[in-house]
Amino acid sequence: MIRLPMLLGLAAEALAGILLWLSGSVWIVLAAVIAHAVSSWYFAQGFWRLLPRRYKLPARRTLSLLFIFLWILPVLGAAGLLWSVIGALKRPRNRALQNVRIIPLPELPFSPPVIFPTPPYSQGALRQIVHFAERPLKRLKAVMATRHMPPREAMVVWAKATRDPVDDVRLLAYAMKDHSEKKLVDRILALTEALPDVPVRMRNGYHKTIAALCWELVYHGLAQGAVRQHWLQTARRHMGLVFAPSIRAADTSAAPAAFDANSILYGRILLDSGDLASAREAFDNARIGGMDEQKILPWLAEIAFNERKFSEVRRYLSALTRSGEKGREMAQVKAWWSK
> pLDDT tens digits, residue range 157-198?
888 888 888 888 899 989 988 988 899 999 999 999 998 888
For residues 70 and 76, give the distance between their C-alpha atoms in angstroms, rounded to a whole number: 8
Q: At what angle do helices 167-194 and 151-161 cross, to 10 degrees?
A: 140
Cβ atoms 191, 210 nearer than 8 A? yes
Whether the ω angle into residue 109 lies within 30 degrees of 0, i.e. cis, is: yes
Give yes or no for residue 29 having a pLDDT over 60.
Answer: yes
Domain-embedded: residue 337: no
Q: At what angle do helices 123-132 and 151-161 cross, to 10 degrees?
A: 10
DSSP at 338: T
Domain-embedded: residue 278: yes
How many CB atoms are closer than 10 A to CB 74?
A: 17
For residues 316 and 304, give the distance between their C-alpha atoms in angstroms, rounded to a whole number: 9
Task: Name the residue among 146, 148, 227 with its Cα closest to residue 182.
Answer: 227
Q: Which residue has the higher pLDDT, 149 or 54?
A: 149
Q: Output the pLDDT for position 188.
A: 92
Residues 6+ apart with CB under 8 A from 54: none
Q: Output the pLDDT for position 252.
A: 47
Percent residues over pLDDT 70 in the chain:
75
CA 306 centroid distance within chain: 45
Give yes or no for residue 250 having a pLDDT over 70.
Answer: no
Q: Both 30 and 78 in a single domain? A: yes
Q: Output the pLDDT for position 8.
A: 72
For residues 56 and 49, give the distance between their C-alpha atoms in angstroms, rounded to a whole number: 8
Domain that holds residue 63: 3-98
pLDDT band at 115 (very low <50, low <70, confident <90, very high): low
Domain-embedded: residue 16: yes
Q: Both 227 and 263 in a single domain? A: yes
Domain-embedded: residue 302: no
pTM greater than 0.85 (yes/no): no
Q: Which residue has the higher pLDDT, 130 or 339?
A: 130
Number of domains in the chain: 3
How many CB atoms are closer than 10 A to CB 51?
A: 16
Domain-embedded: residue 316: no
Q: Output the pLDDT for position 253.
A: 47
Q: Hey, what amino acid is at 183?
A: K
* Per-range mean pLDDT, top range of 105-109, 161-165, 289-293, 325-329: 161-165
Q: Output the pLDDT for position 16.
A: 73
| Last residue of one domain, picked from the residues 197, 222, 240 | 197
Give yes or no for residue 39 having a pLDDT over 80.
Answer: no
Burial 311-337 (b: 16+ CB within 10 A, else e): eebeebbeebeeeeeeeeeeeebbeeb
Domain-embedded: residue 304: no
Q: Both 248 and 277 in a single domain? A: yes
For residues 263 and 123, give the distance between their C-alpha atoms in angstroms, rounded to a whole number: 31
| DSSP assignments along 216-231, one per residue | HHHHTT-S-HHHHHHH
Cβ atoms 317, 338 nearer than 8 A? yes
Alpha-carbon radius of gyration of the chain:
46
Give yes or no for residue 247 having a pLDDT over 70.
Answer: no
pLDDT band at 70 (very low <50, low <70, confident <90, very high): confident
Q: Output the pLDDT for position 190.
A: 92
CA 257 centroid distance within chain: 42
Work out the mean pLDDT of the chain and round it to a whole number.
77
Q: Which residue has the higher pLDDT, 254 or 208?
A: 208
